[in-house]
């Protein structure tokens, strides 16, 4: 069917929009009151202004919370509960256009829309016009468009613009490039004009006004440049359909004054419009481009004493130097690495240390009264999947308990002692284990006679040296210097969070030793403030040289994480940023305070309502069940901390939805095939452990980071379920009338009709996900239905019927084979994973596509990192580089 179709999508783009074109852009944009909105093209016959027998005439309506002004003063219909004075009310029953707060919407009409009758002079913009698109703008825009017929069809450039970048003159956006087009300069917004004169809708959805609404919806849903880009790319695809010669809009027509009746189409449009957020008069102008402070109002309860900023300190002011022995004087890391290398020779040194330190900290937290080093070794082996004999463990333990001295220790200690400093040591953690195996301390340092605090119940010395140590230290220092105060005792440590933070909080200056390659984290969240930073003990001595002049305080560092109240989980993981939000709480990026290793924290705060159960403990069980596959993030710890349920998981990279956006909306068949192989593998693994995922969607698959950047990971297992009864080993029985779970866009056909999900449903959902990644859109997206139930039913019908068949017809044949298999499976049937893998692998082999990490569209420079519209999380961008999949490239 041929359909005349013109539409305009208008969008305000705040200046510096690029700054919120980011992972957080969507969140920030939700607070902006300037939103993209739509000039609707409506057939006049739909609103009773034309007879069906007349040649069809269309008009663009602008729906706005503001009345038109200037020459078009009177050209509007008020929708909904207008005031008594309103003469023209477009009566809509039962009032779909009513705004929840009772304000009125106006449909701007168009008496002088057409070329010859456009207003002779530009209409002055009312002084108070700040951020609403009003009728005069609209007219100017229309004139600009109509003056240049054909330009759009000729132009194949991308159709987006804005932000601070200049806009190429030949783009068909209306973007302030000429003096005539001054609106953009003043208000910083951009019009997108998308015009498809005649095209064939038959292979798309049924022709209706919803095509435009769909664009609008997409824009409002994903308000960022990516939203625009997606909408525009969608429109561009439509535009690929053969275009008939351009026609101008139908002859001018005169408004008769007759109040129109509402046709069902308009009614439906009105329902959709009602769900849109259109700015109203008096809405506040958005505050610049500030990102909102992310409030942490449901997180674990923890607070930090922040250090005061220090003044310059003359070395002579320091009377006592107190060493934290671990890793400043004693070298504990080398023996740990040596010991672990015996157990897992192939692993990288740093990784071994990270695993050991993490296991040690968690073990100590959960079993504070049990000797921990042997237990830690056991945990390390379990974590690395290595089998060790008792004698191997014994050897490793022996090595770990024999730390040597750092090479420079003797010399440095002597030098400081010769300069007259009193040298003390903080008590050594776990002194009992070490007592017989330590080498003698360099001459001049005194240990406390009795390390009181190591036996403190639940002591947390792995992360925080307790406050009691510092009062004890002050007492010991006063034995030699009765008048000394805390500011004269320099604590030397390599542990920023283990020692520097509590020392600062207790009022002691700190010298932070950062040896090259040290394990301690480099991330500074502003909770400590070292007086000096040295690369080793020799450097420390040089900086404490009396003739050198006062030690200048380190300049304040620009803290990278100001937007969140800092909190720490298990005293070991410092949260730094929000990675995402889920239905039950937030997911935070965090790092281990002793190793700097990055992790993700999934946090759920119980509401306290008796009838509500928390889901994270359940999800933790599923993660435990699925341990052992590298394509599923490892659950490092789960439990209650600070009153919240917490999962500590491997940190992942960008999810497939974000990557699809990064790649401008669609992925190539090559990427889709390569992803399919990995995704099938993860799902097969879950099924092999008796688990159905029930929430297969692109957002729940993410690439790894670092060395695992080419691997797809399956996560978010909160909806997963055992399909095998663990007591009987039997498959669960089929059931009807189940509540639909998962995401309707991708869910299997069965889910829409209330059937219990089994393995086949995960695989059907995977098929839908792959089609979505390939096409960028599924036919049932954005359809209209009067209620959610009706919509779910309608989507189900589409999945079962012609729209799905048409989708397959325009997809590579592999998908037909794939769906033939998965839709042919019975409830209990085991899917033919090998067959499904073969379908995609054969295609890859035929095409000569390698399956390596470089096969994805986003790797290796195929996608320009700085294109607007990408949703690459900030952590993947720095300067003009982007690192996706671990392979960075410059523009
Ligand atoms: N391990 C992780 N590493 C990095 N980011 C993550 C991780 N886990 C979750 N995220 C981010 O947080 C978002 C939400 O996480 P998740 O899907 O687990 O939460 P949810 O509450 O189950 O969400 P939903 O309601 O969408 O199912 C994800 O889309 C992802 O961007």
- Higher confidence at residue 649 or residue 343? 649
In this predicted structure, the answer to whether residue 573 has a pLDDT above a threshold of 60 is: yes
In this predicted structure, the answer to whether residue 447 has a pLDDT above a threshold of 90 is: no
| Separation CA 145–CA 84 (nearest Å) | 37
User: How much distance in Å is there from the Cα of 651 to the middle of ligand 1?
Assistant: 10
- Return all residues near 323 (Cβ < 8 A) that are at least 6 apart: 329, 423, 424, 425, 426, 445, 492, 493
pLDDT of residue 663: 74
Q: Are 561 and 576 in contact, with CB atoms under 8 Å apart?
A: yes
Q: What are phi and psi of 534, to 5 degrees?
A: -125, 150
pLDDT of residue 105: 55
Q: Which atom of ligand 1 is nearest to the CA of 713?
A: 1
The CA dihedral of 487, 490, 493, 498, to the nearest 10 degrees, is -20
Top mean-pLDDT range of 142-146, 154-158, 601-605, 873-877? 601-605
Count, residues in the chain:
891
Closest to 266 in 3D by CA, of 213, 216, 220: 213
Q: Please, what sign has the CA dihedral across residues 202, 208, 210, 215?
A: positive
Q: What is the pLDDT of residues 473-502, one digit of tens each?
A: 888 899 889 999 888 999 999 988 888 888
Which residues are catalytic, by number? 695
Q: Whose CA is nearest to atom 13 of ligand 1?
A: 580
| Separation CA 78–CA 75 (nearest Å) | 10
Q: Strands 701-703 and 2-12, how do they pair?
A: unpaired
- How many helices (H) and strands (E) are present in the chain, helices listed first? 25, 27
| Separation CA 80–CA 802 (nearest Å) | 38
Q: Whose CA is nearest to atom 20 of ligand 1?
A: 582
| Separation CA 446–CA 444 (nearest Å) | 6
Q: Whose CA is nearest to atom 18 of ligand 1?
A: 716
Token pair in block for residue 534: 């040295």
Could you check whether the bond before residue 425 is cis, i.e. omega within 30 degrees of 0?
A: no
pLDDT of residue 491: 94
Q: What are phi and psi of 230, to 5 degrees?
A: -65, -45
Q: Where are the alpha helices (DSSP H) in 275-348?
A: 333-343
pLDDT average, residue stretch 579-597 = 83
Pocket test for ligand 1, best of 575, 581, 602 (most atoms within 8 A of CB): 602
Q: Are 200 and 237 in contact, with CB atoms under 8 Å apart?
A: no
Q: Which atom of ligand 1 is nearest to the CA of 650?
A: 1
| Separation CA 763–CA 819 (nearest Å) | 9
- Higher confidence at residue 546 or residue 507? 507
User: How much distance in Å is there from the Cα of 696 to the middle of ligand 1?
Assistant: 13
Q: Which atom of ligand 1 is nearest to the CA of 695?
A: 27
Mean pLDDT over each residue of the chain, to the nearest integer: 65
| Half-sphere CA count of 99, side-chain side, radius 13 A | 17
DSSP, res 313 = B
Q: What is the pLDDT of residues 175-201, one digit of tens each?
A: 222 222 222 222 222 222 222 232 222
pLDDT of residue 487: 87
Q: Which atom of ligand 1 is nearest to the CA of 633?
A: 1
Q: Please, what sign has the CA dihedral across residues 69, 75, 78, 84?
A: positive
| 609 exposure class (CB count in 10 Å sphere: 0-12, 13-18, 19+) | exposed
Q: Whose CA is nearest to atom 19 of ligand 1?
A: 582
- 85 pLDDT band, cuts 50/70/90, is low
User: How much distance in Å is there from the Cα of 732 to the middle of ligand 1?
Assistant: 28
| Separation CA 219–CA 34 (nearest Å) | 12
Q: Are 194 and 243 in contact, with CB atoms under 8 Å apart?
A: no
Q: Whose CA is nearest to atom 24 of ligand 1?
A: 582
User: How much distance in Å is there from the Cα of 336 to the middle of ligand 1?
Assistant: 34
- Higher confidence at residue 336 or residue 9? 336
Q: Whose CA is nearest to atom 12 of ligand 1?
A: 580
- Higher confidence at residue 736 or residue 337? 337
Q: What is the pLDDT of residues 619-671, one digit of tens each?
A: 999 999 898 898 999 999 999 887 888 999 999 988 898 788 777 678 999 99
Pocket test for ligand 1, best of 24, 25, 573, 582 (most atoms within 8 A of CB): 582
ipTM: 0.97
- 565 pLDDT band, cuts 50/70/90, is low
Q: Which atom of ligand 1 is nearest to the CA of 658?
A: 31
DSSP, res 725 = -
The predicted model scores a pTM of 0.64
In this predicted structure, the answer to whether residue 556 has a pLDDT above a threshold of 70 is: no
Give me the helix-helix angle, 669-688 and 759-775, nearest 10°. 160
User: How much distance in Å is there from the Cα of 715 to the middle of ligand 1?
Assistant: 7
Q: Are 255 and 539 in contact, with CB atoms under 8 Å apart?
A: no
Give per-residue burial for 424-450: e unless 16+ CB within 10 Å, then b: bbbbbbbeebbeeebeebbebbebbee
| Separation CA 493–CA 488 (nearest Å) | 16
| Separation CA 703–CA 700 (nearest Å) | 10
Q: Which residue has the tokens 């086949």?
A: 760
Q: Which residue has the tokens 């730094």?
A: 576
User: How much distance in Å is there from the Cα of 221 to the middle of ligand 1?
Assistant: 19
| Separation CA 649–CA 618 (nearest Å) | 15
User: How much distance in Å is there from the Cα of 716 to the middle of ligand 1?
Assistant: 6
DSSP, res 184 = H
User: How much distance in Å is there from the Cα of 116 to the middle of ligand 1?
Assistant: 55
Q: Whose CA is nearest to atom 27 of ligand 1?
A: 582
Closest to 63 in 3D by CA, of 197, 220, 246: 220
pLDDT average, residue stretch 608-619 = 80
Q: What is the pLDDT of residues 188-241, one digit of tens each?
A: 222 222 222 322 222 222 222 223 333 333 333 333 332 333 333 333 333 333
User: How much distance in Å is there from the Cα of 688 to the middle of ligand 1?
Assistant: 24
Q: Where are the alpha helices (DSSP H) in 116-209?
A: 135-147, 151-154, 183-187
- Return all residues near 574 (Cβ < 8 A) that are at least 6 apart: 497, 523, 525, 566, 568, 590, 591, 592, 593
pLDDT average, residue stretch 372-391 = 82
Q: Whose CA is nearest to atom 15 of ligand 1?
A: 582
Token pair in block for residue 57: 């005439």
Which residues have C-beta atoms less than 6 Å from ligand 1?
579-580, 582-584, 587, 600, 602, 633, 649, 651-652, 655, 699-700, 715-716, 718
In this predicted structure, the answer to whether residue 830 has a pLDDT above a threshold of 90 is: yes
Neighbour tally for 297: CB within 10 Å: 7
Q: What is the pLDDT of residues 48-77, one digit of tens each?
A: 445 677 655 444 445 555 555 443 455 555
Top mean-pLDDT range of 117-131, 670-684, 768-782? 670-684
Q: Whose CA is nearest to atom 4 of ligand 1?
A: 652
pLDDT of residue 765: 96
Pocket test for ligand 1, best of 581, 587, 637 (most atoms within 8 A of CB): 587
């Amino acid at each position: 069917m041929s359909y005349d179709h013109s539409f305009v999508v208008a969008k305000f783009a705040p200046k510096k929009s690029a700054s919120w074109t980011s992972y957080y852009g969507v969140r920030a944009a939700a607070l902006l009151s300037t939103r993209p909105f739509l000039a609707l093209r409506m057939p006049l016959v739909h609103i009773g202004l034309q007879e069906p027998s007349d040649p069809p005439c269309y008009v663009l309506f602008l729906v706005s919370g503001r009345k038109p002004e200037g020459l078009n003063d009177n050209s509007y219909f008020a929708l909904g509960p207008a005031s008594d004075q309103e003469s023209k009310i477009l009566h809509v029953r039962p009032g779909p256009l009513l705004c929840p707060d009772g304000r009125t919407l106006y449909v701007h009409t168009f008496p002088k829309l057409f070329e010859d009758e456009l207003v002779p002079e530009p209409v002055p913009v009312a002084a108070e016009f700040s951020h609403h698109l009003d009728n005069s703008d609209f007219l100017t825009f229309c004139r600009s468009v109509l003056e240049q017929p054909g330009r759009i069809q000729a132009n194949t450039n991308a159709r987006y613009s804005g932000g601070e970048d200049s806009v190429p003159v030949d783009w068909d956006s209306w973007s302030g490039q000429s003096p005539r087009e001054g609106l953009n300069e003043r208000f910083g917004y951009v019009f997108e004009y998308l015009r498809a004169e005649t095209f064939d809708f038959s292979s798309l959805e049924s022709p209706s006004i919803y095509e435009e609404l769909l664009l609008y919806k997409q824009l409002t849903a994903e308000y960022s440049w990516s939203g625009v880009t997606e909408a525009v790319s969608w429109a561009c695809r439509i535009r690929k359909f053969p275009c008939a010669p351009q026609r101008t809009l139908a002859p001018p027509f005169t408004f008769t004054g007759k109040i129109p009746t509402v046709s069902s189409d308009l009614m439906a449009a009105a329902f959709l419009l009602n769900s849109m957020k259109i700015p109203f008069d008096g809405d506040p102008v958005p505050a610049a481009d500030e990102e909102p402070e992310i409030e942490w109002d449901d997180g674990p309860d923890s607070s930090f004493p922040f250090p005061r900023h220090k003044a310059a300190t003359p070395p002579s002011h320091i009377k006592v130097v107190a060493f934290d022995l671990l890793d400043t004087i004693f070298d504990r890391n080398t023996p740990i690495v040596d010991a672990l290398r015996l157990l897992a020779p192939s692993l990288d040194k740093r990784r071994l240390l990270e695993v050991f330190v993490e296991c040690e900290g968690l073990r100590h937290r959960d079993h504070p009264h049990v000797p921990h080093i042997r237990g830690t070794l056991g945990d390390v082996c379990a974590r690395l999947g290595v089998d060790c004999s008792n004698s191997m463990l014994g050897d490793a333990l022996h090595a770990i308990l024999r730390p040597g001295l750092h090479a420079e220790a003797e010399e440095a200690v002597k030098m400081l002692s010769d300069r007259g400093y009193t040298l003390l040591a903080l008590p050594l953690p776990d002194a009992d284990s070490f007592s017989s195996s330590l080498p003698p301390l360099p001459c001049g340092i005194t240990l406390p006679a009795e390390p009181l605090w190591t036996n403190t119940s639940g002591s947390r010395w792995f992360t925080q040296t307790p406050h009691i140590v510092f009062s004890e230290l002050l007492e010991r220092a006063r034995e030699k210097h009765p008048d000394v105060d805390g500011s004269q005792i320099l604590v030397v440590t390599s542990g920023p969070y283990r020692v520097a933070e509590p020392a600062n909080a207790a009022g002691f200056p700190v010298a932070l030793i950062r040896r090259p390659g040290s394990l301690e984290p480099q991330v500074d969240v502003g909770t400590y403030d070292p007086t000096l930073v040295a690369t080793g003990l020799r450097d420390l001595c040089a900086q404490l040289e009396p003739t050198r002049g006062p030690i200048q305080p380190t300049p304040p560092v620009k803290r990278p994480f100001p937007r969140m109240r800092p909190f720490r989980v298990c005293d070991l993981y410092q949260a730094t940023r929000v990675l995402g939000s889920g239905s039950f709480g937030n997911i935070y990026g965090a790092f281990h305070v002793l190793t700097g290793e990055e992790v993700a924290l999934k946090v759920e705060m119980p509401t306290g309502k008796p009838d509500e159960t928390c889901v994270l403990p359940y999800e933790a069980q599923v993660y435990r069940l699925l341990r052992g596959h590298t394509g599923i993030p490892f659950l490092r710890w789960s439990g209650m901390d600070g009153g919240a349920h917490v999962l500590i998981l491997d940190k992942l990279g960008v999810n497939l939805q974000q990557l699809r956006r990064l790649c401008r909306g669609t992925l190539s068949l090559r990427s889709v095939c390569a992803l399919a192989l990995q995704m099938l593998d993860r799902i097969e693994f879950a099924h092999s452990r008796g688990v159905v995922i029930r929430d297969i969607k692109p957002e729940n698959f993410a690439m790894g980071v670092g060395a695992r950047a080419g691997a797809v990971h399956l996560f978010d297992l909160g909806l997963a379920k055992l399909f095998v009864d663990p007591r009987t080993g039997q498959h669960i029985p089929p059931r009807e009338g189940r509540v639909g779970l998962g995401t309707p866009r991708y869910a299997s056909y069965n889910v829409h009709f209330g059937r219990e999900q089994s393995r086949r449903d995960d695989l059907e959902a995977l098929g839908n996900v792959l089609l979505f990644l390939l096409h960028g859109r599924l036919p049932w997206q954005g359809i209209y239905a009067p209620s959610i139930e009706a919509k779910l039913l309608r989507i189900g019908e589409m999945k079962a019927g012609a729209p799905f068949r048409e989708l397959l017809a325009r997809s590579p044949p592999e998908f037909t084979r794939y769906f033939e298999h998965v839709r042919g499976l019975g409830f209990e049937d085991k899917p033919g994973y090998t067959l499904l893998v073969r379908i995609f692998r054969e295609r890859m082999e035929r095409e000569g596509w390698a399956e390596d990490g470089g096969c994805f569209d986003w790797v290796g420079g195929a996608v320009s990192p700085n294109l607007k519209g990408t949703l690459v999380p900030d952590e993947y961008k720095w300067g003009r580089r982007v690192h996706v999949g671990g392979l960075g490239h410059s523009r």
